[in-house]
Amino acid sequence: MLQAQNTVPVYLDPSKPLEVRVENALSLMTMEEKVALCHAQSKFSSKGVQRLGITEVWMSDGPHGVREEIQWDNWGNAKFTNDSCTAFPALTCLAATFNPELSLNYGKAIGEEARYRKKEVLLGPGVNIYRTPLNGRNFEYLGEDPYLSSKMVVPYIHGVQQNGVAACVKHFALNNQEQWRGNIDVELSDRALYEIYLPAFKAAVTEGKAWAIMGSYNKFRGQHCCHNDLLLNKILKTDWKFDGAVITDWGGAHNDKEAALNGLDIEMGTGTDGLTTSSQSSYDFYHLANPFLKALKNGEVSTDVLNDKARRVLRLIFRTNMNPARPWGSFVTPEHSKVANQVAKEGIVLLKNDQQILPLDVKAYKKILVVGENATRKMTLGGGSSELKAKYEISPLQGVKNTFGQQSEIKYAMGYASGGSAYGRELPSKLNADSLRNQAIRMAKEADLVLYFGGLNKNYLQDCEGGDRTQYDLPFDQNKLLAELAKVNKKVVVVLISGNAVAMPWINQVPAILQAWYPGSESGNAIASVLSGETNPSGKLPFSFGVKLNDYGANSFDKLCFPGDGTREVYKEDILVGYRWFDAKNIAPLFPFGYGLSYTTFQFGKATVDKTKYTKNDVVKLSFTLTNTGTTTGAEVAQVYIQDKVSSVMRPVKELKGFSKIKLGVGESRVVNMELPVSEWAFYDEAGKQWKVEPGQFIIHLGSSSRDIKQQIPVTIE
Ligand code: BGC
């Protein structure tokens, strides 16, 4: 018979402090129950403690929408009919907005969807640095610059976690390519580690207060990153004081002892021999299941280690599902579509616009030909674990028809074909490439304007998990097609759908180029809005576009530098990643970091600083007036790069240390104030193992891209 209880146990009382609840729950649990918290019970969930009413942890990819439901024990979809989500733009697009406020809205909206779908953990965002344009997963990350990715990741996390859903920042760390991702052992200097590859993770933990983090598949200094003593125990948990849970990437744990001792808390996705046994749950064979229990029981591993893991998982549960105050969430709402639409529109980058062919003067074009498979292909499919079952996806062709179809005749030619499958494999196309190309060229001769939608497509080796791109050129003979189209029609507007830079040998033959990323559900609407001028583009490149592949640092050395020899990889370009490399080596990029055109023009007034001499604890107050001098409302991203004139160590020519996006009406001026903490200008001193600002002269470069510097303001640090 049930006894009426008049007191709620402490761990169930949300008015009690988190740590008090955690300690109380811990004191009531058996060793077996604690171990059960530390590993999967299904593909995407781990156990709670049923006896105590402590709930399970359910996780979902991430990072662009809430993934469809997956079966309990295999990767097949669960055939639900109520799991079609809002597809938000890929993270490269979010980064290109240079707008942290939009990142907060994005996080909030995706968090609401995750909450509605009863997820405790959203597996994202990803902040691995763009080191080479061949990395198959660059589209899931926030670009090449540690400052930009730090500023963009923090609000995303805040937005997600407002919903009582944990963000799980990934992939910690140095997972900068897909090839050999499961075993490549990355070697790099401490400076490159601390200055380039760790800052966004650090910001996610110390400012974003992320409740979870995902270890990466690769190795670093000899240990797999999912159980890496230096990364997890020292840097993450000791130096950064991370109090949340470290989750493996799926199948990222390899070793009983390291899994127990080196900072891992929840093991997911391991393919153990247990999978072939039917007598017991295969999950009992995980490194952090029976082998861990055995090591605890025979004293090889101390119970402190177990208690630390259990505490972290309990915090995760109390912060999420067992926080009764968390909101209810919502799913595929008009508000979420609006967020997806805004991010897509603000992230699209106008790369080239000769004779102001854009925005399109629609009256001038009676016959518009749309060319390219990406005009119709579903881009929310493919790409690997970030693939989405979207409630809807407006294709570029549909967007063009909706926007221009009243006034102009719209025809479509596929132009090239990449094969049928969207996911995992690239199938040979059944369609004949020559006849597709010839048809497009024939039709282009008749058209007043050609809108070309190409790029990559999330097929295997074309912006997809599990493999890197094999070439810098566009695939499927698109270079040839574009060159031939440009010969027969002078008005070819190129819209690239991709998450990576590509070579553009046809650049001088076409008047306009837009970089549209993977824009998600609102793709066609957002692109057409920019083409028509309803939206004035304001996106800026979050990574450098090189003319050719070996213009990138990582690709300019031997194979050991990229992609490695199969076992080791040495980051020989060191801290000179992205524009830092282009600057140091004096290589002209095709399009520089931070670059993006507008339909209007801006003028930077003379910039001033509040003092001329500062100490390393000061904040420099920079101010200037920005004016919209053109004929349409628009937004500019003012960018501040810092240069250390004289230093005892090699320093990049300049580094992004501030940006601000300012929207201005026609003729409008605004005083822009930017605060630049001098402490952020430090370098990592390898000998002293600390951040250091050396006294001397620094130059503040103020501009509208990393290569369009409008003013240089010298300041002295004492
Ligand atoms: C990916 C992760 C993803 C996980 C679960 C892994 O293969 O690397 O990013 O979250 O699968 O789907």
Q: Quick one: which H or E segment has residue 109? A: helix 100-116
Distance 536 CA to ligand 1 centre (A): 36
Report which protein residue has its CA nearest ligand 1's atom 9. 385
Asked if the bond preceding 652 is cis, omega within 30° of 0, the reply is: no
C-beta separation of 211 from 244 below 8 A: yes
Looking only at the bridges linking them, the beta strands covering 655-664 and 613-614 are unpaired
Amino acid identity of 384?
G
Report which protein residue has its CA nearest ligand 1's atom 6. 250
Question: Looking at the predicted structure, is the pLDDT value of residue 225 above 50?
Answer: yes
Q: Which pair of structure tokens corresponds to residue 500? A: 């990576």
Mean pLDDT, to the nearest integer, of 536-552?
Answer: 98
Nearest to 63 by CA among 102, 89, 98: 89
Fill in the DSSP letter of residue 49.
B
R_g (Cα) of the chain, nearest Å:
26
Ligand 1 atom at minimum distance from 62 CA: 10
Mean pLDDT, to the nearest integer, of 65-88?
Answer: 95
Q: Is 62 in the pocket of ligand 1 (CB under 6 A)?
A: yes
Average pLDDT, the chain: 95
Q: Is 170 in the pocket of ligand 1 (CB under 6 A)?
A: yes
Report which protein residue has its CA nearest ligand 1's atom 11. 250
Q: Is 123 in the pocket of ligand 1 (CB under 6 A)?
A: yes
Distance 288 CA to ligand 1 centre (A): 19
Nearest to 198 by CA among 240, 233, 252, 248: 240
Nearest to 398 by CA among 307, 286, 303, 525: 525
* Angstrom distance (rounded) from CA 342 to CA 94: 10
Amino acid identity of 546?
G
pLDDT of residue 241: 98
| SS3 call for 46 | strand
Complete edge-to-edge strand list for the sheet that includes strand 57-61: 45-46, 57-61, 121-123, 166-172, 212-215, 245-247
Residues 6+ apart with CB under 8 A from 92: 138, 139, 140, 141, 142, 143, 347, 499, 517, 518, 542, 543
Q: What's the pLDDT band for 420 if we cut at 50, 70, 90? A: low
Distance 569 CA to ligand 1 centre (A): 22
Nearest to 590 by CA among 496, 680, 679: 496
Q: Is 385 in the pocket of ligand 1 (CB under 6 A)?
A: yes
C-beta separation of 215 from 225 below 8 A: yes
Mean pLDDT, to the nearest integer, of 223-252?
Answer: 98
Fill in the DSSP letter of residue 601.
-
First to last CA, the chain: 76
Of 155-169, 243-257, 271-285, 578-592, minimum mean pLDDT range: 271-285
Backbone angles phi, psi at 262, to 5 degrees: -100, 35
Fill in the DSSP letter of residue 484.
H
* Angstrom distance (rounded) from CA 320 to CA 519: 29
Distance 123 CA to ligand 1 centre (A): 8
Ligand 1 atom at minimum distance from 385 CA: 12
Q: Which pair of structure tokens corresponds to residue 61? A: 């990819």
Q: Is 580 in the pocket of ligand 1 (CB under 6 A)?
A: no
C-beta separation of 504 from 462 below 8 A: no
- Tally DSSP H helices, then E strands, for the chain: 16, 27
- Residues 456-488: tens digit of each pLDDT: 999 999 999 999 999 999 999 999 999 999 999
Measured in residues, the chain has a length of 718
Complete edge-to-edge strand list for the sheet that includes strand 223-224: 223-224, 219-220, 185-187, 568-570
Mean pLDDT, to the nearest integer, of 611-628?
Answer: 97
- By most ligand atoms within 8 Å of CB, the mutation choice from 71, 127, 179, 249 for ligand 1 is 249
Question: Looking at the predicted structure, is the pLDDT value of residue 276 above 80?
Answer: no
Question: Looking at the predicted structure, is the pLDDT value of residue 281 above 80?
Answer: no
Question: Looking at the predicted structure, is the pLDDT value of residue 428 above 90?
Answer: no
Question: Looking at the predicted structure, is the pLDDT value of residue 4 above 60?
Answer: no
Look at the alpha carbons of 229, 231, 235, 236 in this order and tell me if their dihedral is positive or negative: negative
Ligand 1 atom at minimum distance from 123 CA: 10
The proportion of the chain whose per-residue pLDDT surpasses 90, expressed as a percent, equals 94
Q: Is 172 in the pocket of ligand 1 (CB under 6 A)?
A: no
Residues 6+ apart with CB under 8 A from 414: 371, 372, 373, 376, 431, 436, 439, 440
Mean pLDDT, to the nearest integer, of 415-437?
Answer: 70
Q: Is the pTM of this model over 0.95?
A: yes
Active site residues: 249
Q: What's the pLDDT band for 1 if we cut at 50, 70, 90? A: very low
- Residues 565-587: tens digit of each pLDDT: 999 999 999 999 999 999 999 99
Look at the alpha carbons of 213, 214, 218, 224 in this order and tell me if their dihedral is positive or negative: positive
Distance 385 CA to ligand 1 centre (A): 5
pLDDT of residue 424: 44
Q: Is 167 in the pocket of ligand 1 (CB under 6 A)?
A: no
Q: Is 140 in the pocket of ligand 1 (CB under 6 A)?
A: no
Q: Is 128 in the pocket of ligand 1 (CB under 6 A)?
A: no
| SS3 call for 660 | strand
Q: What's the pLDDT band for 220 if we cut at 50, 70, 90? A: very high
pLDDT of residue 3: 53
Nearest to 148 by CA among 88, 209, 200: 200
Report which protein residue has its CA nearest ligand 1's atom 3. 385
Q: Is 250 in the pocket of ligand 1 (CB under 6 A)?
A: yes
Looking only at the bridges linking them, the beta strands covering 449-455 and 492-497 are parallel
Nearest to 288 by CA among 261, 259, 316: 259
Distance 61 CA to ligand 1 centre (A): 7
Domains of the chain, first to last: 29-319 (3.20.20.300), 348-543 (3.40.50.1700), 544-597 (no CATH), 602-717 (2.60.40.10)
Q: Quick one: which H or E segment has residue 318? A: helix 303-319
C-beta separation of 214 from 249 below 8 A: yes
> In the beta sheet, which residues pair with residue 369?
411, 450
pLDDT of residue 66: 98
- By most ligand atoms within 8 Å of CB, the mutation choice from 57, 61, 168, 171 for ligand 1 is 61
The proportion of the chain whose per-residue pLDDT surpasses 70, expressed as a percent, equals 96
Look at the alpha carbons of 467, 469, 474, 477 in this order and tell me if their dihedral is positive or negative: negative
Q: Is 249 in the pocket of ligand 1 (CB under 6 A)?
A: yes
In 62-165, DSSP assigns E strands to: 121-123
